[in-house]
Amino acid sequence: MMMRTLLLAAAGALALGAPLRAQQPPTTVFFEARGGGVTPTFGIADVAKTGTALGATLGFRPSPRWVLMAEYDDGSHKDKATGLVDITTRHYMAKVGYSLTGPRERGWDAIINLGVGAVGFDVEGAPEQFTYFAINAGAKLAYNFNRSVAFVLSPQGDIAFSKKEELTTTNAWVWPFTAGLRVNF
Domain-wise residue ranges, the chain: 27-184
* Cα–Cα distance measured from residue 1 to residue 97, given in angstroms and rounded to the nearest whole number: 53
The pLDDT tens digits for 82-138 are 999 999 999 999 999 999 998 888 999 999 999 999 999 999 998 999 999 999 999
Rg over alpha carbons for the chain, rounded to the nearest Å, is: 22
CATH 3.30.420.40 fits 27-184, yes or no: no
> What is this structure's pTM?
0.82
Nearest to 61 by CA among 33, 29, 96: 29
